[in-house]
Amino acid sequence: AGLHAVARQAGKLYLGTATDNPELTTTAYTAILDNNQMFGQITAANSMKWDATEPSRGVFTFTNGDVIANLAQRNGQLLRGHNCVWHQQLPSWVTSGNFNAATLTSIIQTHCSTLVGHYKGRVRTWDVVNEPLNDDGSFRQDVFFNTLGQGYIATALRAAKAADPNAKVYINDFNIEGTGAKATAMKNLIRSLKSQGVPIDGVGLQSHFIVGQVPTTLVQNMQEFAALGVEVAITELDVRMTLPETAALLAQQKKDFQTVVAACQAVPQCVGITIWDFTDRFSFVPSTFPGQGAATPWDENLVKKPAFDGIVAGF
């Protein structure tokens, strides 16, 4: 059975994957990607980011993003927009522009409303703000925060919601999957936004995990987010290991995928799960975490690993 079909059977909205434009020429890959019983939701891994969509101020390019949006539409898969505002993959005209507060606010508004507006009606959910927090729970000292304070988050959420009122607007981050300082800060941020009437529909838990280290407080933490009146999604799931892979590591990885899926299953407000690409051939892990990898449910040769069965078993 396909993973999305199993997720739907279990009452979840979707099981999805990230994908990226250069990968689409590999037919053994697209044969799996295009199966909407396997994946019911798609996230563009790169092609809707700021550097890809507004490389120069006021110059928008949606060519690669449109390829992903059209793929999802053709396949009958939900589309997740990723993302409006993030400190990485930002063009230097944003980071080095030395803009004053009024100008940077307007730049954020223009970027979010143009990007979200371009895909209006086609995206279920936007990761509007990505990675706003440091691990200690303080706000990340990026160009947005340094110029505007935390108000940039409300600015981005409002602009995105106004551009596509039917899209769910999320904040997405890593290391907020278990309880702790960073998750507490995210809860406080959501509470504060809600008290100001700022649109916030959900929180994305990226979930870039390490084998054997899925947080034991995942369910409790998701319940605490849900209690604030937002939905929750697992948005970038992978479970990496120090290479080389061994049978024991792959067996633990299977359990880890199962644990994460079962956690989402245990929380009604957890709407779905996205894996951050489904094959080790295209995973971002080895380039970002040297010496680590094998983080996804399909191996380099597009053969299913034990982790695939772990996902099925979790629902």
Q: Are 49 and 89 in contact (CB under 8 A)?
A: yes
d(CA 112, CA 5): 33
Report if residue 252 touches ligand XIL, rule: CB under 6 A: no
List, in order, residues 6 or more apart from 7 with CB less than 8 Å away.
Answer: 13, 14, 15, 40, 272, 273, 315
Those residues with Cβ within 8 angstroms of residue 196's Cβ, 6 or more apart along the chain or in another chain: 154
The active-site residue, picked from 23, 54, 236, 300, is 236
Catalytic residue selected from 54, 131, 177, 231: 131
For the bound state, the minimum distance from the C-beta of residue 177 to ligand XIL, rounded and expressed in Å, comes to 13
Report how far residue 17's alpha carbon sits from residue 276's, in angstroms, rounded to the nearest whole number: 6
Which residues make Cβ contacts (< 8 Å) with residue 165, sequence separation at least 6? none
Whether 131 sits among the annotated catalytic residues: the reply is yes
Q: Does 142 bind ligand XIL (CB under 6 A)?
A: no
Letters for 102-141 (x = contact with ligand XIL by CB under 6 A, - = none) are ----------------------------x-----------
Give the nearer residue to ligand XIL in terms of CB position, either 210 or 313: 210
* H helix runs in 119-180, sequence order: 143-148, 151-163
Would you give the binding string for ligand XIL spanning residues 205-234, x where CB under 6 A is met?
-x----------------------------
What residue number has its CB nearest to ligand XIL? Answer: 284
Among 7, 33, 44, 45, binds ligand XIL (CB under 6 A): 45
Quickly list DSSP for 66-77: HHHHHHHHHHT-
Q: Nearest distance from residue 64's CB to ligand XIL, in Å?
A: 12
For binding to ligand XIL (CB under 6 A), which residues are involved?
45-46, 130, 206, 236, 284
